[in-house]
Chains A and B, each alone.
Chain A
Amino acid sequence: MSLTFLIKRLAGAIPLLLGISLILFAIIHLAPGGPTDVYADNPSVSPEALQQIITRFGLDKPVPEQYLLWLKAMVTGDWGLSIRTGRGVLGEILARLGPTLQLGGMAMGISLIVALPLGTYCAARRGSRLDTALTFLSFAGISLPVFWSALLLQLVFSVWLGILPSAGMKSIGDGSLIDRLQHLAMPVTVLSLATIASWSRYIRSGMVDVLAQDYIRTAYAKGRREWGVVIAHALRNAMIPAVTVIAIDFVTIISGAVITETVFAWPGIGRLFVESMNGRDYPMLMGLMMMGSFGVVMANIIADIIYAALDPRIRHG
Chain B
Amino acid sequence: MTALLDIAGLVTEFRTENGPLTAVKGVDLSIAKGETVALVGESGSGKSVTSLSVMRLIPERVGRIAAGQIMFTGADGTRRDLAQLDQDEMSRIRGRDIAMIFQEPMTSLNPSYRIGAQVAEAARLHRAIGRRAAWDLAVEALAQVEIPDPVARARAFPHELSGGMRQRVMIAMALVCDPVLLIADEPTTALDSTVQLQILALLKRLQAERGMGILFITHNLGVVAEIADTVAVMYGGRIVEAAPRDTIFTAPAHPYTRGLLASLPRVDHAARAAGVVDRLVAIPGSMVDPRHPPPGCDFGPRCAHVTDACRAAVPGLQEVGPGHQTRCLRWSEL
Residues of A participating in the B interface, judged by any CB pair closer than 8 Å: 126-127, 213-215, 217-226, 232-233, 236-237, 310-313, 316
Q: How far is the CB of B72 from chain A (nearest CB, A)?
A: 15
Are the CB atoms of A218 and B125 closer together than 8 Å?
no
Interface residues of B in 91-113 (CB under 8 A from A): 91-96, 99-100, 102, 104, 107-112
A313 with B111: in contact, given A222-B121, A223-B126, A225-B88 (CB under 8 Å)?
yes
Are the CB atoms of A224 and B111 closer together than 8 Å?
no
A222 with B122: in contact, given A215-B107, A316-B157, A316-B160 (CB under 8 Å)?
yes
A218 with B159: in contact, given A223-B95, A223-B125, A226-B87 (CB under 8 Å)?
no
Are the CB atoms of B107 and A214 closer together than 8 Å?
yes
Are the CB atoms of A313 and B157 closer together than 8 Å?
yes
Q: How far is the CB of A187 from chain B (nearest CB, A)?
A: 37
What would 16 more interface pairs be, CB under 8 Å, given A218-B102, A221-B57, A223-B91? A218-B110, A220-B57, A220-B94, A221-B94, A222-B121, A222-B173, A222-B174, A223-B92, A223-B94, A226-B87, A233-B110, A237-B110, A310-B112, A311-B112, A312-B157, A313-B111
A90 and B157 CA atoms in complex are apart in Å by 47
A237 and B92 CA atoms in complex are apart in Å by 25
A222 with B109: in contact, given A217-B57, A312-B157, A312-B159 (CB under 8 Å)?
no
User: Range of interface residues on chain B?
Assistant: 20 to 34
Chain A contact residues, majority secondary structure? helix
A223 with B104: in contact, given A215-B111, A312-B111 (CB under 8 Å)?
no
Are the CB atoms of B102 and A217 closer together than 8 Å?
yes
Q: How far is the CB of A313 from chain B (nearest CB, A)?
A: 5
Q: How far is the CB of A232 from chain B (nearest CB, A)?
A: 8
A316 and B92 CA atoms in complex are apart in Å by 36
Closest partner residue, chain B, to A218 (CB atom): B108
**A310 cross-chain contacts in B, Cβ below 8 A:** 112
Provide 19 A-B residue pairs closer than 8 Å at the C-beta atoms, listed in order of the A residue: A127-B61, A214-B102, A218-B108, A220-B57, A221-B95, A222-B94, A222-B99, A222-B173, A223-B91, A223-B95, A225-B87, A225-B91, A226-B87, A236-B112, A237-B111, A312-B111, A312-B157, A313-B111, A316-B160
A226 and B170 CA atoms in complex are apart in Å by 20
Q: How far is the CB of B168 from chain A (nearest CB, A)?
A: 14
A221 with B55: in contact, given A215-B109, A236-B112, A316-B157 (CB under 8 Å)?
yes
**A236 cross-chain contacts in B, Cβ below 8 A:** 112
A221 and B103 CA atoms in complex are apart in Å by 13
A77 and B52 CA atoms in complex are apart in Å by 65
Q: How far is the CB of B65 from chain A (nearest CB, A)?
A: 16
Interface residues of B in 174-192 (CB under 8 A from A): 174
Are the CB atoms of B112 and A312 closer together than 8 Å?
yes
Closest partner residue, chain B, to A128 (CB atom): B61
A236 and B160 CA atoms in complex are apart in Å by 19
Are the CB atoms of B99 and A221 closer together than 8 Å?
yes
Q: How far is the CB of B91 from chain A (nearest CB, A)?
A: 5
A16 and B87 CA atoms in complex are apart in Å by 54
Closest partner residue, chain B, to A215 (CB atom): B110
Interface centre among A126, A214, A232, A236 (most CB of B within 10 A): A214
Q: How far is the CB of B61 from chain A (nearest CB, A)?
A: 6
A222 and B99 CA atoms in complex are apart in Å by 7
A109 and B92 CA atoms in complex are apart in Å by 37
**A232 cross-chain contacts in B, Cβ below 8 A:** 121
**A219 cross-chain contacts in B, Cβ below 8 A:** 110
**B121 cross-chain contacts in A, Cβ below 8 A:** 222, 224, 232
**A237 cross-chain contacts in B, Cβ below 8 A:** 110-112
Closest partner residue, chain A, to B122 (CB atom): A222
**B160 cross-chain contacts in A, Cβ below 8 A:** 316
Closest partner residue, chain A, to B173 (CB atom): A222
Interface residues of B in 109-132 (CB under 8 A from A): 109-112, 121-122, 125-126
Q: How far is the CB of B290 from chain A (nearest CB, A)?
A: 21
A222 and B97 CA atoms in complex are apart in Å by 10
**B88 cross-chain contacts in A, Cβ below 8 A:** 225
A217 and B48 CA atoms in complex are apart in Å by 13
Are the CB atoms of A311 and B111 closer together than 8 Å?
yes
Are the CB atoms of B107 and A213 closer together than 8 Å?
yes
**A225 cross-chain contacts in B, Cβ below 8 A:** 87-88, 91
Q: Kindly list the 9 A-B residue pairs having the minimum CB-CB distance in the complex, ordered from nearest.
A: A223-B95, A222-B95, A214-B107, A222-B122, A312-B157, A215-B110, A221-B100, A223-B125, A223-B94
Q: How far is the CB of A135 from chain B (nearest CB, A)?
A: 16
Q: How far is the CB of A114 from chain B (nearest CB, A)?
A: 25
Closest partner residue, chain B, to A310 (CB atom): B112
Interface centre among B55, B95, B109, B126 (most CB of A within 10 A): B95
Are the CB atoms of B91 and A215 closer together than 8 Å?
no
**A311 cross-chain contacts in B, Cβ below 8 A:** 111-112
**A223 cross-chain contacts in B, Cβ below 8 A:** 91-96, 122, 125-126
Closest partner residue, chain A, to B93 (CB atom): A223
Q: How far is the CB of B87 from chain A (nearest CB, A)?
A: 7
Interface centre among A127, A214, A223 (most CB of B within 10 A): A223
**A316 cross-chain contacts in B, Cβ below 8 A:** 157, 159-160
